[in-house]
């Protein structure tokens, strides 16, 4: 294996180099074997357009062609890219072929990432080589919060392309929260008429005295959602919609006040929340609330079909119990159901919707608080407060996605210097993310099989626009993608210097894609936010 010439991100399992080169010419044909037609269309519409190469269809055996084919001897997401005087991209499934096509694109250089051909006369060559590769984890994800700050549809489609370029295959779509409801539900139109808009927005951390007085909001129509899901599916990305239950629900209660604890507060006076933190206004444990959210989820299941969205995220985190403690109706419900207090009431909510989804062929996943009070069989856990929830869930036989806040929350600041914009949380450098290990050593081999994979989470309280999201996400997502895809050594033994070397080739690709990443030397002047209060935490994060 000769890896010294590799500048790929994530790093592949093996590369063998040879003598000579393949040249992508004006007449180079693209041969799509059975099952690879969508990958061929993607290659033509992206790489072909970017490099000014039409890639006309060809027949099997065409001289000097690019051949796409499915090889059932390979694992489903594995691929083998063979570059001689022709190119063959073989994958265990269409997904494997697609990941091989992403590697092919990287080898063609930064120009392959543009929207149109900047240099039609340039020679497009790749040295002879064989790349063999397969992912470590089946779940390689990014969670994007579009509730705190709305990202228009085109921005979401762009992020799906950025995920695909890094061989990430799960998009966790955080659609509802206290600060905004972002998906059209036809039977409950006020969710977007009222719940998608707030009058103003806290600027910076919730302790900041600054406000953005401009109204903020937006939502995706049902056709927008169908488009996003179809776009993701063409890129072999699963979409996990999140509808928060029973906390993080003020936007829904503002739209439909009967969903709240009306015997404790006047819910008709609530508006969509304009600041950050843990909100006390949670759903009332009534039959009306259950029927309402069943109606919501019926439309969600139609918009996110099981083929691309086998999991539905139901939140379950940060649900204060104060209103339930003060509510005669909630206390009567606890007594009626024989529950163990307010924690039991939250578990009752989660169990209800876990079962409801299971009856319809879907799997519920929730933040690790859903373990409290017991978790229904089949439910999976997003371990966010550290590793502990994931360890507990795996030992109990539940599948886990590892996304500990202390390691892979990309809203946390990237350096300790004063120029980091709106600094939040612990310092998590590019190297810190590169040395993140998703599987805790405390798990046995059998328990570790419950770790489906890992995802990085992007909470957007202090990310008002796409440029701010880019700055927080990149280049750290490139390091995270390698952790999720590649079979790396133990954290301390990882060759970060080589990763940095390969990133020198990867930054021009991100430049061509228009990604406003944090430069290695620190933020550029227009990326700073001087004088805006954050919440930096000193020291190393706890390993919990």
Name, in order, each residue with C-beta under 8 angstroms of 124's C-beta and a sequence gap of 6 or more: 23, 24, 25, 51, 53, 108, 109
- The secondary element (H helix, E strand) that includes residue 332 is helix 328-337
The encoded tokens of residue 372 equal: 């409290």
CB distance 94 to 38 below 8 Å: yes
Radius of gyration of the chain measured on its C-alpha atoms = 24
Catalytic residue among 318, 372, 392, 437: 318
Where does residue 506 fall: left (phi above 0), alpha (psi -120 to 50 degrees), or beta otherwise?
alpha
What number of other Cβ atoms are within 10 A of residue 25's Cβ? 12
Q: Going by DSSP bridges, is the β-strand pair 125-133/79-83 parallel, antiparallel, or unpaired?
A: antiparallel
Catalytic residue among 77, 177, 342, 420: 177
CA distances to 61, 173, 315, 420 from 247, in Å? 59, 17, 8, 31
Q: Interior CA angle at 83 toward 80 and 84, to 5°?
A: 135
Q: What is the DSSP letter of 165?
A: H
Catalytic residue among 149, 236, 248, 352: 248
d(CA 477, CA 167): 11
- The secondary element (H helix, E strand) that includes residue 234 is helix 222-234
For this structure, is 17 an active site residue?
no
- The secondary element (H helix, E strand) that includes residue 14 is strand 14-23
For this structure, is 372 an active site residue?
no
Q: Reply yes or no: is the peptide bond before residue 10 cis, omega within 30 of 0.
A: yes
DSSP per position, 113-142: GSSS-S-TT---EEEEEEEEE--S-SEEEE
CB distance 132 to 1 below 8 Å: no
For this structure, is 4 an active site residue?
no
Q: What is the DSSP letter of 6?
A: -
The encoded tokens of residue 475 equal: 């280049």
List the catalytic residues.
Answer: 177, 248, 318
């Amino acid at each position: 294996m000769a890896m010294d010439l590799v500048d790929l991100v994530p790093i592949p399992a093996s590369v063998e180099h040879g003598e000579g080169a393949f040249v992508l010419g004006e007449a180079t044909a693209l041969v799509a074997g059975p099952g690879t037609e969508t990958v061929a269309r993607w290659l033509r519409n992206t790489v072909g357009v970017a490099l000014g190469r039409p890639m006309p269809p060809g027949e099997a055996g065409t001289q000097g062609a690019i051949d796409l084919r499915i090889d059932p001897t390979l694992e489903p997401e594995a691929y083998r890219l063979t570059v001689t005087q022709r190119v063959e991209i073989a994958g265990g499934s269409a997904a494997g072929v697609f990941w091989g096509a992403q590697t092919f694109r990287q080898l063609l250089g930064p120009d392959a990432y543009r929207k149109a051909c900047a240099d039609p006369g340039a020679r497009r060559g790749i040295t002879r080589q064989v790349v063999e590769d397969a992912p470590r984890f089946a779940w390689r994800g990014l969670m994007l919060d579009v509730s705190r700050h709305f990202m228009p549809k085109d921005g979401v489609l762009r992020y799906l392309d950025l995920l695909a370029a890094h061989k990430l295959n799960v998009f966790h779509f955080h659609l509802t929260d206290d600060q905004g409801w972002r998906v059209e539900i036809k039977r409950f139109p006020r969710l977007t008429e009222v719940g998608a808009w707030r009058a103003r927005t806290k600027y910076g951390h919730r302790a900041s005295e600054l406000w953005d007085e401009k109204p903020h909001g937006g939502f995706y129509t049902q056709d927008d959602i169908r488009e996003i899901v179809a776009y993701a599916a063409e890129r072999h990305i699963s979409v996990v919609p999140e509808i928060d239950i029973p906390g993080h629900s003020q936007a829904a209660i503002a739209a439909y006040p009967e969903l709240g604890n009306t015997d404790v507060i006047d819910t008709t006076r609530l508006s969509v929340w304009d600041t950050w933190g843990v909100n006390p206004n949670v759903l009332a444990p009534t039959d009306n609330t259950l029927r309402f959210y069943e109606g919501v989820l019926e439309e969600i299941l139609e918009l996110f079909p099981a083929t691309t969205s086998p999991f539905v995220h139901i939140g379950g985190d940060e649900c204060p119990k104060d209103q339930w403690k003060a509510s005669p109706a909630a206390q009567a419900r606890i007594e009626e159901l024989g529950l163990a207090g307010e924690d039991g009431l939250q578990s009752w909510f989660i169990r209800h919707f876990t079962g409801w989804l299971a009856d319809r062929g879907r799997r519920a996943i929730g933040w690790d608080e859903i373990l409290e009070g017991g978790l229904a069989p089949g439910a999976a856990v997003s371990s966010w407060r550290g590793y502990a929830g994931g360890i507990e869930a795996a030992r109990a036989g539940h599948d886990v996605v590892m996304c500990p806040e202390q390691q892979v929350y990309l809203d946390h600041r990237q350096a300790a210097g004063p120029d980091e914009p709106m600094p939040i949380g612990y310092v998590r450098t590019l190297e810190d993310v590169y040395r993140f290990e998703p599987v805790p050593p405390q798990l046995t081999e059998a328990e570790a099989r419950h770790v489906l994979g890992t995802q990085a989470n992007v909470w957007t309280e202090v990310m008002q626009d796409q440029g701010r999201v880019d700055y927080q996400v990149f280049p750290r997502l490139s390091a995270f993608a390698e952790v999720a895809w590649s079979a790396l050594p133990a954290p301390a033994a990882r060759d970060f210097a080589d990763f940095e070397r390969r990133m020198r080739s990867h930054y021009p690709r991100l430049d061509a894609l228009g990604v406003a990443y944090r430069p290695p030397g620190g933020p550029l002047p227009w990326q700073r936010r001087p004088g805006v209060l954050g919440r930096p935490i000193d020291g190393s994060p706890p390993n919990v």
